[in-house]
Amino acid sequence: MDAQAIADKYVSLFRQGKAAEIQNTMYHQDVVCREPEHALAMGIPTLTEGLEAVQAKSKARQATIAEVHSFYCSEPIVNANYFSVAMGRELTFKNGQRLKADEIAVFGVKDGKIISETFFY
């Protein structure tokens, strides 16, 4: 699959709430995830390497969420081996804090899989 096909499938699955399926089927074993520096203050590492580590980070984040009220993902913008989307969620954490989070995500594609993800928020 090329970047456009990967992007279209990503958006379709995300809109269905299938984030785990995205990681399980579309991510490269050597995927690298980058978060902004200020994510450290929220307990989120700025660099996560490898599929197992990215999946573990996602599971740990999911464990802190009590309810997802809404989520969205824009249509992808694709260029060569990259695509980006605007995305966001409104959720309540188990500690009672409610948050509306919007971000831009940029994904790199290699050999028909997502090899990198970088988040800006």
Residue 3: what pLDDT? Answer: 97
Domains of the chain from N-terminus onward: 3-120 (3.10.450.50)
Q: Which residue matches tokens 């899989």?
A: 113
The pLDDT score that the predictor gives to residue 43 is 86
The one-digit pLDDT tens for each residue of the chain (121 residues) are 899 999 999 999 999 999 999 999 999 999 999 999 999 998 899 999 999 999 999 999 999 999 999 999 999 999 999 999 999 999 999 999 999 999 999 999 999 999 999 999 9
Q: Which amino acid, one-letter code, is at 8?
A: D
pTM across the whole model: 0.93
Output the six-digit token pair for 94.
Answer: 């188990």
Among residues 21, 27, 13, 3, the alpha carbon closest in space to that of 113 is found at 27
Question: What's the distance, CA 69 to chain centroid?
Answer: 17
CB-based contact 107:9 (threshold 8 Å): no
